[in-house]
Amino acid sequence: MSEPSIGELIAKALRPQSIIEEILLGPPEAGDPGHEEMVMTGKCLAHEIAGHYGIDPIDAWDALCHVPNHMLSQLFTPFGWTVLAEYVAQALGVSSERPFLPSIH
């Protein structure tokens, strides 16, 4: 079975928590906490992008649901968040003249 895409993970996160746990983690022996971390990171990024570009977080979330699998690793670096924010801005037709640059602490 192939790895789920970020879009699949994010879309599943919109469902009630018990269903999310069942879908993402599966039976206890098949669970992978990395998937849950990916979903939570995606949620945080969607809210940050929405605030930066003045768009609805649900729209940002939906655009992140369509990120190609090869971009999944971008979720875990500040530069990657910039890349994903640009992807979302382009997908939604939002001006990205003021680039999204997450602060690094």
Does residue 103 sit in helix, strand or coil?
Answer: coil
Residue 18 in any domain: the answer is yes
Domain that holds residue 19: 6-92
Angstrom distance (rounded) from CA 36 to CA 89: 25
- pLDDT score, position 19: 45
For 10-47, give one letter per residue: b (16+ CB within 10 A) or e: bbbbeeeeeebeebbeeeeeeeeeebbebbebbbebbe
Residue 98 in any domain: the answer is no
Residue 102 in any domain: the answer is no
- pLDDT per position as a tens digit, 3-19: 767 766 666 665 544 44
Q: What percentage of the chain carries pLDDT values higher than 70?
A: 68
Residue 100 in any domain: the answer is no
Asked if residue 37 lies in contact with residue 4, where contact means CB atoms within 8 angstroms, the answer is no
Q: Is this structure's pTM higher than 0.85?
A: no
Residue 73 in any domain: the answer is yes
Angstrom distance (rounded) from CA 79 to CA 58: 23
Q: What is the number of structural domains in the chain?
A: 1
Residue 99 in any domain: the answer is no
